[in-house]
A and B are shown apart, each in its own frame.
Chain A
C-alpha cells in the first residue's frame, strides 16, 4: 500500500479493532459471570465444586461458540441497518429532485475537476519515469563556477567521464537533433530522434522487443553504423517485418543498419516523440566546446547524488587541465525526472490547489443545501425519534444519505473527468511533459473515491450536527413559525457563506494575477515587426554539405531565388529565431579589458545571419550599419551587437571597438563591431534582454557542423502563408532531399511561445469562474432560505410601518455583510500565499492592488446580484399573510 493510503486507513482499522477487542472482553465477562452464578447455584443444590462447575459449563455449551453466535447477531443487524438506510436515503433523494439534481451536479463538477487535474499531477509529478529503477537514472551537467549556469557536456568531457567515473553502473550521451532525414522510402521525411552512445539503453534499463541494442565499442569511429528504431517506426517504415533486423536505412544520406526495435511502450525525448536512435561515434576532440551532449547515468547502488557529483566534478576538473583555455570546472548530478518535470511543478500544484478550493466551495454549497433540507424535515425527524430511533441512528441515516449523494456525484464526476482528461491530453500536448502517460488509472480512481468520501463526510456533518432527537411536541410547536432551530443554525449557514466567499476570492485573485501576467506577456514587444513574416527550418544533410562553400552556395542561391519571387519583399537566413529559438551562446572578451586565459568572462547570444536578416525582421538600426555582402569576404571579421551589449560593455559607444569570441584565448581573431541594433527577444518574451552578437553566417572556410541547419525568414506584404508553396518548390528545385520543418508565420511563433502560460491561465480562469458561479448560488440559496425563515418577522416590520425599501435594503445589506467578511478573509489569505505564484507571474506583483480591488468589486457585485431576487421576495411579503402564520 502506498504511504499516502496508510494515513487514512490505519487509524480506522485501529479503532474498530480496539472496539471489537473491548466488545469481546465484555462478552467474555458476561458469559463467565453467568457460569459463576450457575456454579454457585449448583453448589447450593449440593454438587461438589468441580461437578457444579462442569454442569454449568455443559449447560452453556461451548463458550467460544456462544460468543460467536452473539457476535453474529451484531453483524447481521449492521448489514440490515445499512441496507435500510440506503433505501431510505434513496427515497428521500427522489422525493426532492430539485435539491438532488443541484447537489449532485455541484459535487460532480467539483470532484470531476479534481480528478482530471489529479490525473495529470499523478502522471507527471508522482509516478516514476517509465524505466526500471527510474529513481537511479540521473543526468550530469557542467557548470562554470562564476556563471552558475548549468549546461551540457562536450565530447571531451563525456569521454573522460566514461573512462574515469566510479559512481555509475554505466553512462551514455544523447545528442538531440531536429530530426533525421529519411530517404529511400518514398518522399524524404523528417523523423525525430537523437544520436546516442553505446550504453544508452543500458542506462535506461529497457530491453529491445526485437533484435538487440548497441554493444560496447560500437560508438567508436570506424565501427559500422547501427541504429535502434522505435516500435512506431518499425510499423510505419519497416512494415513490422521481423526481418527488418539487419536491413539498412538511409538517414541524412548515410546508411545505418537496423539492429533492434524498442517495445511500443518505450518513450524518450522531448514530447516523447523520438523514433530513431542512431549510434553516435566520437573521437577525442581538439577543443572542449561545443557542449551539445545530454549525459545520462545509472547510479550504482548505494551511491548518492552528492557522491556522484563529487566524482563528476573531479573528472571535469581533470578535463579542464587538459584544455586549459576552457573555464568549466564543476559538475552536478540531477535526477532525470527532475529535469523532465521540474519546470511544470509550480503550475501543476497551483492548478491542483485551485481545483481543491473549487471542491471545497462545492462541498460548502451542498452542506448549506443539506442543512436547509434537514431543518425542513425536522418534523419527520421528530416523529422518528419519538418512535425510538436514537440520535446515533438518525445521524447515521443522515450520513448514509450524504454518502449516497457523494457516491452519485462522484460517479458523475468521474465520467466528466474522463472527458476532461481527454481534452487536457489534446490541448496540453506540447506543454505538459509525459503527457502520453496521463490517464485515469487506479491511483486516480482511488483519489476520486477518497474525494467523494471526504466531501460526503464534510457536507454530511453540518446537518448531522444539528440533529436533535427532540420531542415531538416541541418541534410541532415550533413548526408553526416556519420552524428552524433559530439563531444557531443561521450562524452556521452564514459562516458557510463567508467560507465560500473567501475561497472564491482567493481563486479569483489567483486567476486575475495570471490573466494580468498573460496580458503583459503578450504585450511585450519582441524587438522587431512580426507581421507578414514566414519562417521555416531547413536542415542540410551533413554528408552532401561537408564543406563550407557547399553550404553557403546553397543558402545564397536559395535566398536569390526567394527574393526573385513575386510578393517577396526580402528574405534571409539566421541560425536562431525570435522569440525563443536561441541556438548558441558564446563567451566573449572585450579589447582593453583584462582577463585570464581559462577564466571566461561573460556570455552573449551568438547568431550567424545572412545580410538581409535585420531588414527582413524589421529590427531597428541604432548606430553604425547593417552587414553587407562585403562582410562575408575573406579577411573581414565583422560583428553587429545589440543595444544591451553596447550599453553594458561599451558605455553605448561600440562602433569600431573590437571583441574576441569563444573561449578566452589571446591568439583568437579580433572582430570589429560595425553596427548596433535594437534588442530582440531570443529566449522567450518573459526574459530580460541579453547581450547579443550577430556574425555573418559564412566566412571563408568556416562551416561548423551546426550551420547547416538554418531558419529561413521571408517578408511579404500579404499573408505569409500564400508563399509557402513557392518557397517549398524553390528549396526542392535546388536539392530535393532537403526537408523543411516547422513552417510557421512569425505571428504563430509568437503566439506559440506563450502557449504554456496561456493554458494554465485558461484552466485557472475556468476554475475561478466556476467558483464564482458556485459562490453566487450559495449566497442566493442562503439568502432565500433566510428570507423564508424570517417571513413572519418581516411581516411584523411591514405591519408596524416599515417601508418596503427598508426591507430590501435590510436583505441586501445582510448579504453584502457576509460577502464583505468573506472577501476580507480571502484577501488576507491571498496576501499571505500568492507569493508562491511569483514564478508564474510576469510583470505583475503577487499583491497587485488593482487586481485585488477588482476582484473585491466583482465579488461584491455578484453577491448583491444574487441577493436581489430573495430581497425582492422579502419586499413583496404580504404582512397579513405572514402574520397569520402563527
Chain B
C-alpha cells in the first residue's frame, strides 16, 4: 500500500463533491467512502475534512440536512446542489484535461 498522498485543496473539493454526487452522506461517511474507493490511496485528515465541507456549503455547492442515521443517531448529511453539479462537471473536465496532458508528458519516451 503506497503512502497516502497529500491532496491539494482544489482537488480535495472536487473529490468530496464527486463522492456526494453519488449519494448524500455525512462527514464521517464521506471520508470512509473516499478511502474505500481509492483503495486507501487517498485519505483526507479529519482536521481538514470539516473546514473543507463547510467551505463547500458556503459556496452553495452542497447543502446540509440533519437526519437520523441507521443506528438512531442524528448526523448532518450533505448532498450536492445543482450549482455544485455544474461546478463538479467543470472541474472534472479541467482535471482530465490536466491529467491527460501530464501523462502525455510523463509517458514521453526518453530518447
User: Which of A's residues lie within 8 Å of B, judged by CB?
Assistant: 26, 29-31, 33-34, 36-38, 59-61, 65-66, 69-70, 72-74, 77, 387-390, 393
**CA distance in complex: A389, B47 (Å):** 30
Task: Please state if B47 and A77 are interface contacts (CB–CB under 8 Å).
Answer: no
Instruction: Please give the distance in Å from B79's CB to the nearest CB on chain A.
Output: 14
Task: Please state if B27 and A73 are interface contacts (CB–CB under 8 Å).
Answer: no
Say yes or no for B26: interface residue by CB 8 A criterion. yes
Say yes or no for B4: interface residue by CB 8 A criterion. no
Instruction: Please give the distance in Å from B103's CB to the nearest CB on chain A.
Output: 32
Task: Please state if B75 and A61 are interface contacts (CB–CB under 8 Å).
Answer: no
Indicate whether A70 sits within 8 Å of B54 (C-beta atoms), given known contacts A388-B82, A390-B60. yes
Task: Please state if B86 and A388 are interface contacts (CB–CB under 8 Å).
Answer: yes
Task: Please state if B28 and A37 are interface contacts (CB–CB under 8 Å).
Answer: yes
With a 10 A CB-CB cut-off, give which of A37, A60, A74 has the most chain B CB atoms: A37
Q: Residues of A contacting B58 with CB < 8 Å?
A: 73-74, 77
Q: Residues of A contacting B60 with CB < 8 Å?
A: 388-390, 393
Task: Please state if B46 and A38 are interface contacts (CB–CB under 8 Å).
Answer: yes
Q: Residues of A contacting B47 with CB < 8 Å?
A: 59-61, 65-66
Q: Which residue of B lies closest to A31 (CB)?
A: B50
Task: Please state if B50 and A33 are interface contacts (CB–CB under 8 Å).
Answer: no
Task: Please state if B74 and A34 are interface contacts (CB–CB under 8 Å).
Answer: no
Task: Please state if A30 and B55 are interface contacts (CB–CB under 8 Å).
Answer: no
Indicate whether A70 sits within 8 Å of B51 (C-beta atoms), given known contacts A38-B28, A387-B86. yes
**CA distance in complex: A61, B48 (Å):** 10
Task: Please state if A70 and B50 are interface contacts (CB–CB under 8 Å).
Answer: yes
**CA distance in complex: A387, B79 (Å):** 17
Interface residues on B, range: 20 to 34
With a 10 A CB-CB cut-off, give which of A29, A59, A61, A388 has the most chain B CB atoms: A388
Q: Residues of B contacting A34 with CB < 8 Å?
A: 27-28, 46, 49-50
Task: Please state if B55 and A77 are interface contacts (CB–CB under 8 Å).
Answer: yes
Q: Which of A33, A387, A390 contacts B75 (CB 8 A)?
A: A33
Q: Residues of B contacting A388 with CB < 8 Å?
A: 60, 81-84, 86
**CA distance in complex: A37, B28 (Å):** 7
Say yes or no for B104: interface residue by CB 8 A criterion. no
Say yes or no for B110: interface residue by CB 8 A criterion. no
Task: Please state if B82 and A30 are interface contacts (CB–CB under 8 Å).
Answer: no
Indicate whether A33 sits within 8 Å of B28 (C-beta atoms), given known contacts A38-B46, A61-B46. yes
Which residues from 45 to 98 on chain B have a C-beta closer than 8 Å to any C-beta of chain A?
45-47, 49-51, 54-55, 58-60, 66, 73-76, 81-84, 86
Q: Residues of A contacting B66 with CB < 8 Å?
A: 26
Q: Which residue of A lies closest to B69 (CB)?
A: A33
Q: What are 6 inter-chain pairs, A to B, with CB distance below 8 A? A: A30-B26, A33-B73, A34-B49, A69-B50, A388-B60, A388-B86
Binary flags per residue of B16-51, CB closer than 8 Å to A gives 1, else 0: 000000000011100000000000000001110111
Q: Which residue of A lies closest to B74 (CB)?
A: A29
Q: Which residue of A lies closest to B59 (CB)?
A: A77
Q: Residues of B contacting A36 with CB < 8 Å?
A: 73
- Beyond the given pairs A30-B26, A61-B46, 8 more chain A to chain B contacts, judged by CB atoms under 8 angstroms and listed by A's residue number, are A59-B45, A60-B47, A61-B47, A69-B50, A69-B51, A73-B54, A388-B83, A388-B84
Instruction: Please give the distance in Å from B85's CB to the nearest CB on chain A.
Output: 9
Task: Please state if B83 and A387 are interface contacts (CB–CB under 8 Å).
Answer: yes
**CA distance in complex: A390, B63 (Å):** 11
**CA distance in complex: A31, B46 (Å):** 9
**CA distance in complex: A77, B58 (Å):** 7
Q: Residues of A contacting B82 with CB < 8 Å?
A: 388
Instruction: Please give the distance in Å from A381's CB to the nearest CB on chain B.
Output: 16
Q: Which residue of A lies closest to B75 (CB)?
A: A33
**CA distance in complex: A780, B46 (Å):** 63
Q: Residues of A contacting B45 with CB < 8 Å?
A: 59
**CA distance in complex: A73, B66 (Å):** 20
Task: Please state if B46 and A60 are interface contacts (CB–CB under 8 Å).
Answer: yes
**CA distance in complex: A61, B83 (Å):** 32
**CA distance in complex: A206, B58 (Å):** 59
Q: Which of A59, A74, A393 contacts B46 (CB 8 A)?
A: A59
Q: Which residue of A lies closest to B29 (CB)?
A: A37
With a 10 A CB-CB cut-off, give which of A31, A36, A61, A70 has the most chain B CB atoms: A70
Q: Which residue of A lies closest to B54 (CB)?
A: A70
Q: Residues of A contacting B59 with CB < 8 Å?
A: 77
Task: Please state if A73 and B75 are interface contacts (CB–CB under 8 Å).
Answer: no
**CA distance in complex: A33, B71 (Å):** 12
Indicate whether A30 sits within 8 Å of B27 (C-beta atoms), given known contacts A73-B55, A387-B86. yes
Q: Residues of B contacting A66 with CB < 8 Å?
A: 47, 50-51
Indicate whether A74 sits within 8 Å of B76 (C-beta atoms), given known contacts A33-B28, A60-B46, A388-B60. no
Which 3 A-B pairs rank lowest in CB-CB distance, beginning with the nearest?
A: A388-B83, A77-B58, A61-B47
Q: Residues of B contacting A30 with CB < 8 Å?
A: 26-27, 50, 75-76
Q: Residues of A contacting B83 with CB < 8 Å?
A: 387-389
Q: Which residue of B lies closest to A80 (CB)?
A: B58
Q: Which residue of A lies closest to B66 (CB)?
A: A26
Q: Which residue of B lies closest to A68 (CB)?
A: B51
Instruction: Please give the distance in Å from B69's CB to the nearest CB on chain A.
Output: 9
Instruction: Please give the distance in Å from B46's CB to the nearest CB on chain A.
Output: 4
**CA distance in complex: A9, B45 (Å):** 42
Q: Residues of B contacting A65 with CB < 8 Å?
A: 47
**CA distance in complex: A72, B58 (Å):** 11
Q: Residues of B contacting A70 with CB < 8 Å?
A: 50-51, 54
Instruction: Please give the distance in Å from A26's CB to the nearest CB on chain B.
Output: 7
Q: Which residue of B lies closest to A57 (CB)?
A: B46
Instruction: Please give the distance in Å from B59's CB to the nearest CB on chain A.
Output: 7
Instruction: Please give the distance in Å from B42's CB to the nearest CB on chain A.
Output: 16
Instruction: Please give the distance in Å from A756's CB to the nearest CB on chain B.
Output: 60
Task: Please state if B55 and A33 are interface contacts (CB–CB under 8 Å).
Answer: no
**CA distance in complex: A37, B46 (Å):** 12
**CA distance in complex: A387, B54 (Å):** 21
**CA distance in complex: A214, B73 (Å):** 83
Q: Residues of A contacting B55 with CB < 8 Å?
A: 73, 77
Q: Residues of A contacting B54 with CB < 8 Å?
A: 70, 73-74
Instruction: Please give the distance in Å from B49's CB to the nearest CB on chain A.
Output: 8
Q: Residues of B contacting A77 with CB < 8 Å?
A: 55, 58-59
**CA distance in complex: A445, B76 (Å):** 46
Instruction: Please give the distance in Å from B24's CB to the nearest CB on chain A.
Output: 15
**CA distance in complex: A393, B83 (Å):** 13
Instruction: Please give the distance in Å from B97's CB to the nearest CB on chain A.
Output: 22
**CA distance in complex: A36, B28 (Å):** 10
**CA distance in complex: A576, B58 (Å):** 80
Q: Residues of B contacting A72 with CB < 8 Å?
A: 51
Instruction: Please give the distance in Å from B16's CB to the nearest CB on chain A.
Output: 14
Q: Which of A26, A69, A390 contacts B76 (CB 8 A)?
A: A26
Q: Residues of B contacting A29 with CB < 8 Å?
A: 74, 76
Q: Residues of B contacting A73 with CB < 8 Å?
A: 51, 54-55, 58
Q: Residues of A contacting B81 with CB < 8 Å?
A: 388
Task: Please state if A33 and B51 are interface contacts (CB–CB under 8 Å).
Answer: no
**CA distance in complex: A38, B58 (Å):** 26
With a 10 A CB-CB cut-off, give which of B50, B81, B84 has the most chain A CB atoms: B50
**CA distance in complex: A854, B3 (Å):** 90
Q: Residues of A contacting B49 with CB < 8 Å?
A: 34
Q: Residues of A contacting B27 with CB < 8 Å?
A: 30, 33-34
Q: Residues of A contacting B76 with CB < 8 Å?
A: 26, 29-30, 33
Instruction: Please give the distance in Å from B61's CB to the nearest CB on chain A.
Output: 8
Instruction: Please give the distance in Å from B8's CB to the nearest CB on chain A.
Output: 17
Instruction: Please give the distance in Å from B7's CB to the nearest CB on chain A.
Output: 16
